[in-house]
Chain A
Amino acid sequence: MTMTRDGRALRAVVMVVLAIGLIGPIMAGLAQTGRAAFGIMPVLGAVEASLTPWRDLLTEPGLWTAVRLTLWTGLVSTALSLMLAVGFCAVTHARMTTTSAARWLAPFLAVPHAALAIGLAFVLTPSGWIARLLAPVIGLDRPPDLPIVNDPWGIALILGLMVKEVPFLLLVMLSALTQIPVRQHLAAGRALGYGRGLVWVKVIAPQVWPLIRLPVMVVLAYALSTVDMGVILGPSNPPVLAVMLTRLFSNPDTTRILVASAGALLQGGLVAGAFAALWFADRLMRNIGLWWLRRGGRGSSAEPLLRLASAAVIALFVLGALAMAALLIWSFAWRWPWPEALPQSWSLKAWASPTAGWLRALGNTVLLASATTALSLVLAIVWLEGEDRAQRGRAGWAEALIYLPLLVPQIGFLYGLNILFLRLGINGGYTAVIWAQSLFVFPYVMIALSDPWRALDPRLTRAAASLGAGPWRRLLAIKLPVLLMPILTAAAIGIAVSVAQYLPTLFMGAGRVATLTTEAVTLSSGSDRRVTGVYASLQAGLPLAAYVAAFAIPAVLHRNRAALKGSSA
């Protein structure tokens, strides 16, 4: 059939683009890093395989503390986020539709990690908002002398990660829950004498888990290897491993790159080890869970725990909102002595004085976000359309392929990829940065668009075909306009992901492509809070504006189209 042949051609195009554009770079980057870790890096004149980089790495001061901190912050933040999200879902699920929840969560999903981290630092720091608000209550006359941000235990980093990851997990869970008859199972369980919390733990959660396993792994991989959040909120000396390696990679002494490469493999090992631990925990819980389930205990009520979890989630949301507000307020503040809760005088100076600086960074950021999002969106649409025309679902390996860039730690392959780009002669330019950012933008765009695309009423395209419309007219005149809302939502997500990229921009841009994120992270270490506030506000504002547009444009275009109003966000 012609439909199938057409679909095969499209799928072949997608596969080639993915192999060359996505899988190739990651594998090549890993290979380069791997070679360098064993002493081979011809650009530096290192041609002989040796174990010296590993030996140097093991004697690197603070390495083991860094590893311990990485595992501690990554595992604790992920585990806590997961538990809190489950508890919050159990309490609020009946009262919230996925669409309205998505709208609530949007600001927290949109704000880049770095901007949120900077805002959190403004709120948590000894001279920050919380201390100012508490000062009159507990009688402080000067900022407390406590290492609250960059604390050696990584508490601030864990908090920061949680403020970002809980909303993400909530969104993922809510959309997974739409595939499960929660209400009926809850009613059935309660009729058998189980409390609400127990039904969630024993019946609902085991059904949700397979649907959210991959996103949880993404969260885990990110938490274990974040650089920008680690720099801003994490322990400073020694820092978490990924931050330590970024410093080694940027060391003027280029031989340190070999040590850093060995460390990058270690970082990959940590993530792989965490995945293995997750797999064993999964197995173990399955057996223990069944044993527990078969005992049939109705137990005590889990209600207090659920309430505690929801309260904690709300506290995280408040903290996140305060952080975003703090960015904006600091950017307009002038005189703000301690312990005033608000600035005494306001000024536009931070926005006006180094105008050229933020304008250029904003311009770069917008350019990169538009290019990566457009590329990713086109590829995603071609992929999904290819699946439609071939009339075949997605194979498991293709699904895994989409997640691959989000599961491999960035630091594990980005520097190696940088060396490759150097050889291709595109390093330090926009092409290299767009390419590297797209590796992370495309998966999110693809994931965001897949479900709504498949949920499109198939009768619409069948009706169009029987009216004589060929495949391209069906795509352009029916599918894309009807899917406008989810397409724009996917675009907004793509923009948010691009704006948030730190390491790809830093490495591939060779320091020459300054974006809001790279500038904000640099500024966060100590300089003027007002200027930092400007950069971080813009950084948070850009994705937010994209989300608002994704909501407003369809609302205006489809204002007289009732059947499209309820479509999923």
Chain B
Amino acid sequence: MSLDLVDLAVRLPPGAPLFPPLTLSVAAGQVTTVMGPSGVGKSTLLDAIAGLLAPTFALSGHINLNGVDIRPLPAEARRIGLMFQDPVLFPHLSVGDNLAFGLTPKIKGRAARRDAVAVALASAGLSGLQDRDPASLSGGQRSRAALMRTLLADPAALLLDEPFSKLDVALRDEMRRFTFLHVRERAIPALLVTHDPEDAAATSGPVVRLPAPQPPR
């Protein structure tokens, strides 16, 4: 399993590309970090890969997941999980139902699905919080629940959009370990964008630096 970007470039017509064409390959179980100053288009890059790019942007190059070009597919068919800066749990659903929403439809039957959610909650240290309002969880609990929800969807690759930046320092380290452990366990490729060098160091994977944008002439 791998995620390959070939000459990927995004631009806002008629402007120049946000960053030079990007070519990189992320292997299964590996976390590759893309670093760059804010405003360079890191989140836009992830939007492009996830299929969430606004139609005003123009995209060129290829996005291959396990050798298949996923560019023609809509976001929901790409099997690419996305973690945001905020957990973005659905406010109208309980914690358990948030996970159940994410859980892949391949797991069938009420009991089997309930068990899958319970197992995921337990592995994130959230046992017994099934029926809780997501708003009543602590920041760390919410982040773990969001990661579990993403993983239950059975993604073939994971995109991480500075998911640790809003956590306080003590939690940040724990959440990094927790996230990277699950990436290795699942053996899926993961792409992390950040401006925090500590994030990059913690991945023990390759680091790609995007240059600062050219000042417009």
Contact = CB atoms under 8 A, between A and B. Distances in A.
Interface stretch (B12-20, B78-86, B116-124, B185-193): B78-86
Contacts of B133: 560-563
Given A459-B84, A462-B52, A563 B76 contact: no
A407 B153 CA distance: 50
B51 A563 contact: no
Contact of A459 (B76, B79, B86): B86
Q: Most B CB atoms within 10 A — which of A391, A465, A468, A482?
A: A468
Q: Most A CB atoms within 10 A — which of B75, B79, B134?
A: B75
Contacts of B136: 562
B205 to A, nearest CB: 22
A3 B135 contact: no
A30 B71 CA distance: 51
Q: Most A CB atoms within 10 A — which of B90, B92, B134?
A: B92
A276 to B, nearest CB: 38
A420 B52 CA distance: 48
A488 to B, nearest CB: 14
Nearest to A558: B92
A477 interface: yes
A478 B74 contact: no
Contacts of B101: 464, 467, 469, 477
A564 interface: yes
A562 B55 contact: no
Given A477-B101, A563-B134, A462 B82 contact: yes
A466 interface: yes
A1 to B, nearest CB: 7
| Consensus secondary structure, chain B interface | loop
B76 A470 contact: yes
Interface in A524-569: 558, 560-564
B90 A478 contact: yes
Contact of A463 (B74, B77, B88, B105): B88
A459 B75 contact: no
Nearest to B50: A466
Nearest to A459: B88
A565 B90 CA distance: 14
A1 B91 contact: no
Contacts of B80: 466
B102 interface: yes
A468 B86 contact: no
A2 interface: yes
A4 B135 contact: no
Contact of B104 (A463, A468, A564): A468
A481 interface: yes
B55 A391 contact: yes
Given A2-B74, A391-B55, A477-B101, A460 B90 contact: yes
Interface string A450-478: 00000001011011111111110000011
Contacts of B134: 563
A3 B74 CA distance: 7
A391 B54 CA distance: 7
Contacts of A563: 91, 133-135
Interface string B46-90: 000011101100000000000000000011111111101010101
30 contacts: A1-B55, A391-B55, A457-B88, A459-B84, A460-B90, A462-B50, A462-B82, A463-B88, A465-B74, A465-B75, A466-B52, A466-B76, A466-B78, A466-B81, A466-B150, A467-B81, A467-B101, A467-B150, A467-B153, A468-B79, A468-B105, A468-B153, A471-B76, A481-B92, A482-B91, A484-B92, A558-B92, A562-B133, A562-B135, A563-B133
Interface of A: 1-4, 391-392, 457, 459-460, 462-471, 477-478, 481-482, 484, 558, 560-564
Given A459-B86, A563-B135, 19 more contacts: A1-B74, A4-B55, A457-B88, A462-B50, A462-B88, A463-B82, A463-B84, A465-B75, A466-B78, A468-B76, A468-B79, A468-B104, A468-B105, A482-B90, A560-B94, A560-B133, A562-B133, A562-B136, A564-B92
Question: Which 6 residue pairs are nearest across A and B when measured between Cβ atoms?
Answer: A563-B91, A562-B135, A465-B75, A466-B82, A563-B135, A463-B88
